Amino acid sequence: MAKVLLGVTGSVAAVKTPALYAELLRLGHDVKIAPTQAALAFFDPGCLQSETLAHWGEPLEVRGQSTVYLDSDEWPENGLFQVGAPVMHIELRKWADLLLIAPLDANTLAKLALGLCDNLLTCVYRAWDLSRPVVLAPAMNTMMWEHPATARHLGQLLEDFGGSRSLPRLNAEVLCDTINSLCAQLHVVEPVSKRLACGDEGVGGLASVEEIAAVVSEIIGG
């Protein structure tokens, strides 16, 4: 069993968060969730209770004292920050064995590549111990996935995790394969081709819940 921090970003595929959460629990992992504000447009954290999760399979007990951590949890409820008080993005980084961001939208991918940390999730990523694994499952419109910026940002992550950027002009799909073959602690679960929520057809759909959870288990087990 691993402690998995599930980051959720503002892709329509965030509607699958309850199913992914339930599947990770079913496989025996302890899971906490850090959604961005935009992600909350697509799922209700209140639906993550055990009685709702029973819909996805056997009844599951939600482990731990708290499951969902919001941007507002990063800051004191009243008054100024007190020196010595817990810093939420550091506490979550210390707790987790693996960081999974699924879905990873284009906006957050850009933030990770550029080192921006303007919300709880990106602060966790920026403070992450790179000796521990990170799994990314992108989901975005096909034109966004095929945009040159996506390959550029994936190339930056490849470099950050110790890979080489000596192969310029690679497309996003080839870069995903390169990351998965060269980076011991970074894995990208590639998006799939399907009819997207916007009506377009092409690559950009979130990989299946089962595939993402299986990758997590394989990496932790390995």
Q: Does the pLDDT value for residue 119 go beyond 50?
A: yes
Q: Does the pLDDT value for residue 128 go beyond 90?
A: yes
- Sequence-ordered alpha helix ranges (H) in 32-87: 50-53
Q: Quote the mean pLDDT of the chain.
A: 87
Residue 100 CA, distance from chain mean position: 4
pTM: 0.90
* Model pLDDT, residue 207: 97
Instruction: Retrieve residue 2's tokens.
Output: 């691993």
Q: What is the rounded CA–CA span in Å between residue 53 and residue 89? A: 26
| % of the chain with per-residue pLDDT over 90 | 68
Instruction: Retrieve residue 199's tokens.
Output: 């009506």
- Is 47 noted as a catalytic residue in this protein? no
| % of the chain with per-residue pLDDT over 70 | 86
* Model pLDDT, residue 77: 73
Annotated active-site residue in 47, 123, 183, 198:
198
* Model pLDDT, residue 117: 96
Lowest mean pLDDT among 115-119, 196-200, 202-206: 196-200
pLDDT tier at 61, thresholds 50, 70, 90: very low
* Other beta carbons less than 10 A from residue 104's beta carbon: 26
**Which whole number is the average pLDDT over 161-174?**
74
Sheet containing 30-35, strands listed edge to edge, beginning at the edge strand earlier in sequence: 30-35, 3-8, 98-104, 134-138, 186-188
72, 75, 76, 82, 121 from 79: Cα distances, Å: 14, 10, 7, 9, 23
Q: Which domains does the chain have, with CATH numbers?
A: 3-221 (3.40.50.1950)
Q: Which residues contact 66 (CB under 8 A, 6 or more apart)?
A: 32
